[in-house]
Amino acid sequence: MTYIGYRNSIFLLLAMSAVWAHADEQRSTLADQQDVAVTIYNDNLALVKDHRKLQLKSGPTALAFRDVSGMLRPETALLRSLNAPGSLSVVEQNFDYDLLTPQKLLEKFVGKTVNVVRTNTATGIETTEVATVLAASNGVVLKIGQRIEAGSPGRIVYGDVPANLRDRPTLVMSLENTGTTQQEVELSYLTAGLAWKADYVVELNATDDKLDISGWVTLTNTSGATYSNAKLQLVAGDVNIVRPQVSRANAYMSAPAPAPQAKNQMAEESLFEYHLYTLGRPTTIAENQTKQVSLLTGNGVPVRKELVLRGSDYYYQSGVGDLGQKLKVGVFMEFENRESGHLGMPLPKGVIRVYKKDSTGNAQFVGEDKVDHTPKNEKVRVKLGDSFDVTASKTQVDFKKVSGTGKFNYAYESAYEVVLKNAKKEAAIVNVIEPVPGDWQVLSENLPHAKGASNAAVWSITVPAQGSSTLTYRTLVRL
């Protein structure tokens, strides 16, 4: 027998010993499971409802409910009878998530005695010595008689398996059953290790005025359990959660590229102040798996591309001169989440990735941005990047203090020149947004502005193809 085969055989014997150590318990496994429902929230939290059919003894009994999440929050666990409500009461419960491995078993025997079995390679004769385990981290340290040995001098044989070591995460409950022996029960609990997020794939048309969108839900399961043929629901919204002081795990895996579009999409409904999405078919959420399911699709959604040059407020109260050459002009995409625009489903927060086909018909990535939860009939606005061909330069051509001798009664007058250049073969429209502080007014300008907000002046400027446009304006600011 090879070393690996021998080691696996020893571990199998250890696992069998764990079963014998809990022989007085009544065990429930996935073979008893009738169905399971999983509701996953945005922030690494899920509600699991595990429905099983059991044959329980009358009176007091110990039930080992196996194959639960390894990140179960035991204080949230609730066991109830579905066919005989009120007949089951939980007197005590223990969550055993310290799983049986050779290393764990060794650690549990620190300070205890074990048997060390050596085999003479020449004769095949085995000898056994009693040893005390002194340490089990970064190797094993044993006291055998009057000597100390480090490393494994032979096979270590254990007399039993500690009661709190399990081969699977297990919730052990001391029950009082006053009802029928055949019980259909539901164990519900909150757990970490299950997470979801939304991703959106968008393709712009050739003229940048329509888009096709596909929404995907990415599920990640690092909870230590598999949920087979589960009824899956997702809650989108900011649910308040009391954070524990210490968390055993908060793992999250990155998502792969979106899969091909699925036929089954999710039904949506309002739930309290949140939104609930239900998958119309059961799905298996395997342990240590990331999977994707289709959320929504929309074709021919009207979209508006916007080029924005956004300024700052500091130079309206000081003399600075040159404000920059070849300034970046941001590229934004905006569309409305309306039924009339072929959407209209509340959109969970996530990342929107945008593509556009090149001259040969190949889709190329042109930018991405995060979006927050977006209700129906609201706008979605994302920044895709900065324009390569449209640039700007800005100069403060005049500045003077008009009045003021103390704080809060200053007045400043300043003038500016903004030159926009466009290297494209078609004209471009650039929105110049200036956040002007205090009590302000535009004294003069060569192009009309709009008041976008109480502190924002907005100029919409057409820049000709392979040409330039110049904006000049003068402001008075009182602070």
Backbone φ and ψ for 17, nearest 5 degrees, come out as -65, -35
d(CA 417, CA 191): 59
CA distance 309 to 157: 74
Among candidates 384, 376, 366, 348, which has minimal Cα distance to 198? 348
Threshold 0.95, pTM exceeds: no
Q: Closest Cα partner for 391 from 469, 457, 452?
A: 469
- For residue 330, which amino acid is it? G
Burial level of 107, CB count in 10 A (0-12/13-18/19+)? Answer: middle
Q: Which domains does the chain have, with CATH numbers?
A: 3-99+165-191 (no CATH), 102-157 (no CATH), 194-301 (no CATH), 304-337+383-478 (2.60.40)
Nearest residue to 331 (alpha-carbon basis) of 388, 391, 386: 386
Residue 408: half-sphere exposure toward Cβ, Cα within 13 Å: 0
Q: What's the pLDDT score for residue 128?
A: 92
pLDDT at residue number 254: 36
- For the four alpha carbons of 380, 384, 388 and 394, in that order, the dihedral sign comes to positive
- pLDDT at position 255: 35
d(CA 318, CA 399): 7
Name every residue whose Cβ is closer than 8 Å to that of residue 464 and which is 6 or more positions away in sequence: 422, 427
Predicted local confidence at residue 17, as pLDDT: 42
CA pair distance 175, 90, nearest whole angstrom: 5
Taking the chain, what is the end-to-end CA distance rounded to the nearest angstrom? 87
- pLDDT tens, 283-300? 999 999 999 999 999 999
What confidence score (pLDDT) does residue 18 get?
Answer: 43
Q: How far is CA 345 from the centre of its chain?
A: 21
| pLDDT on residue 451 | 95
Residue 243's pLDDT is 67
**∠ at Cα 98 (105, 113), nearest 5°?**
25
Residue with tokens 């496994």: 29
pLDDT for res 257: 39
Please identify every stretch of the chain with a pLDDT value under 70, giving residue numbers as ranges. 1-23, 98-99, 163-165, 243-265, 407
- The 3-state secondary structure of 116-163 reads EEEECCCCCCEEEEEEEEEECCCCCEEEECCEEEECCCCEEECCCCCC
- No. of H helices and E strands in the chain? 2, 31
pLDDT of residue 2: 41
- The helix (H) or strand (E) run that includes residue 19 is helix 3-21
Residues forming beta bridges with residue 262, ordered by sequence position: none
For strands 411-422 and 379-403, give the pairing.
antiparallel
The residues pairing with 456 across neighbouring beta strands, listed in sequence order, are: 435, 453
Rounded distance, CA 263 to CA 276, Å?
Answer: 19
